[in-house]
Structure 1
Amino acid sequence: MQLTKDFYNKDYFEGKNQIAYDSYAKAGGLLNTFATWTNELFKPESVLDVGCAYGFVVKRFQELGVPATGVEYSPYAVSRAVTQEIIEGDVRDLSRFKDNSFDLVIGTELLEHIPEDDLFKAVKELHRVTKRWVFLLICTAGSDHIESRGGKGDPSHITMKPRWWWESLFHRLDLKRDFPKEDFANNHQQSRQMKWAGRFFVLSKE
């Protein structure tokens, strides 16, 4: 199943369809915290955030003095961007960027939105444009935050797989992982509070 850009509209981001966010605008604080400790963990010289929504993470990196750019699939989210460095695009085609363009490429709750048949292409693109790390937060099977509060789940989460399945995918693509950084992320205080523990992956070119 492929969802069109029209699905990720105002109702999706502001909670009016009651399947996704209560209001994404309220997420700024927790994403600022996430970006701050991510910066401390990786100390990147440049950042690309793919699936960045309004661009809170991008803006926080910029405030920390790190050049950062965001790519977002939803035209509505791009129209609400909190920084100018947000462009409309698709993780499966990052051809506007050269190989090894960014120290750190981030994808938070991104890949579960991609059809399984397109995942190789998406992950390869993320890996191609980074020169050091790809930092992923994936909504794995049983961790849907909508279901956890009694809802029916986000129907745009079309590839819901357990952690071992994603590990197998990265192995089949012959991608290295940075286990110390993965462990740090999965055991961070915010990860435990937000139920992100066990959902972070770090792909490395080092």
Structure 2
Amino acid sequence: MKTNQMDFWNGQFGSEYTDRNTYSYEELDGFYKAQFGVTRTEMNQEFLGGLSLATTLEAGCNVGNQLRCLQAMGFNGLYGIELQQYAVEKSKQLSRGINIIQGSLFDIPFKDSYFDMVFTSGVLIHISPDDIYKAIDEMYRVSNRYIWGFEYYAEAGYQEVQYRGNEDKLWKTNFMQLFLDRYPNLQVVKEKIYKYVQSDLVDQMYLLEKK
């Protein structure tokens, strides 16, 4: 499967995004502190503290910023899948003990229920509403127990957002509800809205569990 969005992220714009958004663990926490008033480590601890996870997959991991954050918190068995080859190559220079491969969220190359948890962070927002359920279905398929997400949030319906002068590249909605509507056996473990410090945007973090 190939989409306009996939071509966009595999091009120069995607490489420039990767260069702009490559962080160390400490820099990532500083970025979140400036954006939300709370570090990413603190967010992760609130949602994942106490969970026992042998294997975790980040779908759309770019260079592995979020995976390195989890690794610094003590999580092991970390995997990432990333569409952009440039980001995958760069991740190899930054990560140790994390398995990041090139691939598509529409066709995750792992067996059913392979991972204890599958998550995205700012990835579903870049998938067209016409294709979103292909991604949701794949995440659900390879997750044995948990689905975790952090995405732009809109309370009602899909809303397109212009992205650095580009159209048809960014959307916001209640992504948690898309999962719940699609799979009634999912239950909400925790959900929280995070407001941006210097804008009206809000993000939603959610942790879902298969009953």
TM-score (norm. length: structure 1): 0.72
Q: Paired residue for 2:105?
A: 91
Deviation string 1:20-67 (CA, Å, 9 cap, x unpaired) is: x78112475236842564255222412111111110111222233322
- 1:18 is matched with none
Q: Could you say what the CA RMSD is over the residues aligned between the two structures, in angstroms?
A: 3.3
Cα distance, 1:203 vs structure 2? 2.6
Q: Which amino acid aligns with 1:59?
A: R
Give the SS at the match of 1:91: coil
Q: 1:23 to 1:78 in 2, by over 3 A?
A: same
Per the alignment, residue 25 of structure 1 pairs with: 22
- Percent same amino acid among aligned pairs? 24
State which drifts further: 26-35 or 50-59: 26-35
Once the two structures are superposed, the pairs formed by residues 126-137 of structure 1 within 5 Å of their partners are: 126-137=139-150
Shift of 1:12: 3.3
| Greater helix share, structure number | 1
Other-structure match for 2:124: 111
Secondary structure at the counterpart of residue 97 of structure 1: coil
Pick which of 47-56 and 131-140 moved more: 131-140
In the alignment, structure 1 residue 200 sits paired with structure 2 residue 205: yes
Any conservation in 2 of the 1:5–1:74 contact (CA below 8 Å)? Answer: no
**Which among 4, 7, 11 is matched to residue 6 of structure 2?**
4
Contact 1:72 1:87 in 2 (8 A): yes
Structure 1 residue 171: deviation in Å? 0.9
CA distance in 2: counterparts of 1:37 and 1:58, whole angstroms? 14
How far apart are the structure 2 equivalents of 1:25 and 1:5?
A: 21
Alignment match, 2:16? 14
1:73-101 deviation per Cα after TM superposition (whole angstroms, max 9, x unaligned): 1111111102252111111111x212222
Give the structure 1 partner of residue 114 of structure 2: 101
2:33 alignment counterpart: none
TM-score w.r.t. length of structure 2 = 0.70
Could you say what secondary structure the match of 1:171 adopts? Answer: helix
Residue 57 of structure 2 aligns with an amino acid whose one-letter code is L
> Of the candidates 47, 52, 63, which is equivalent to residue 41 of structure 1?
47
Aligned residue-pair number: 187
Instruction: Tell whether the 8 Å contact from 1:5 to 1:73 is kept in structure 2 after alignment.
Output: no
Runs of 4+ in structure 1 displaced over 6 angstroms? none
Which segment is superposed worse, 73-82 or 28-37? 28-37
Aligned equivalent of 2:83: 73
Structure 1 residues 153, 3: CA separation in 2 closer, same or farther (over 3 Å shift)? closer
- What one-letter code is carried by the residue in structure 2 that aligns with 1:162? T
